[in-house]
Amino acid sequence: MSIYYTGTGDKGETNTLSDKRVSKASGIIEAIGAVDELNSAIGVALCKVNDSSLKKGLESVQNNLFIIGANLASFSNPNIEKAKINPESVKLLEEGIESMSKELPELKEFVLPGGSDAAASLHLARAIARRAERDVIRASDEHKIDGSAKAYINRLSSYLFVAALYTNYKSGTEEKHPTY
């Protein structure tokens, strides 16, 4: 048997860290998948970002998203010590937002997602973060989810938005705005 597939999910169910088989269409699996997709989108953005400080921040985000995924996957097993987001991680996102914001011109209107390759990737990750947040909140209606994880993923979309603006600004790429 291959170590890359088990075949046990062929009927639409999967295992979690909770040792419980659940439907692949369940809310908890939707949330785990959205967090995984977000982590992958950040991986793509990392390939395009040149700023070393931002790269370091994004690598930290990826690690924290794994922690959130583990928390989600262990939703119903009381014997597993739940992975948790350190509340300090939320503060680090806020500090990153403040640090990048200090260099940006005042934002007076909406911006269209795009610009440089790196910024466009960060905007895509931001949009995925918003969906992942909705999925995590929906899953938390049924299962106990770490409150710091919810705060983290909420703050993350703001961090990614500012990171996209910062990346465009640093690369000299002008923001485009919607016309009404």
Tokens representing 54? 């931002």
Q: What is the DSSP string of 25-49?
A: TSHHHHHHHHHHHHHHHHHHHHHH-
Q: Is residue 14 part of a domain?
A: no
Q: Are strands 13-14 and 22-23 parallel, antiparallel or unpaired?
A: antiparallel
Q: Over the range 17-43, which residues count as b (16 or more CB within 10 Å of their CB) and which as e?
A: bbeeebeeebbbbbbbebbbbbbebbe
76-127 pLDDT, tens digit each? 666 666 678 898 999 999 999 999 999 999 999 999 999 999 999 999 999 9
Q: Is residue 1 part of a domain?
A: no
Q: Any idea what the CATH number is for the domain that residue 141 is in? A: 1.20.1200.10
Q: Is residue 16 part of a domain?
A: no
Q: Is residue 13 part of a domain?
A: no
Q: Identify which of 35, 51, 156, 52 has the alpha carbon closest to the alpha carbon of residue 94.
A: 156
Tokens representing 61? 């985000």
For residue 143, is pLDDT > 90? no
Task: Give the domain range for residue 147.
Answer: 22-83+92-102+111-171
For residue 17, is pLDDT > 90? no
Query: Which letter does DSSP use for residue 176 in this model?
Result: -
Q: Identify which of 110, 112, 157, 106 has the alpha carbon closest to the alpha carbon of residue 130.
A: 157
Alpha-carbon distance 22 to 16, whole Å?
8
Tokens 């909770």, located at residue: 18
Q: Is residue 12 part of a domain?
A: no
Q: How many domains does the chain have?
A: 1
Q: Is residue 8 part of a domain?
A: no
When pLDDT is averaged across residues 147-172 and rounded to a whole number, the result is: 95
The pLDDT value given to residue 4: 84
Q: Is residue 56 part of a domain?
A: yes
Alpha-carbon distance 41 to 38, whole Å?
5
Contact present, 55 and 122 (Cβ < 8 Å): no
For residue 1, is pLDDT > 70? no
Q: Is residue 158 part of a domain?
A: yes
The pTM for the full model equals 0.91
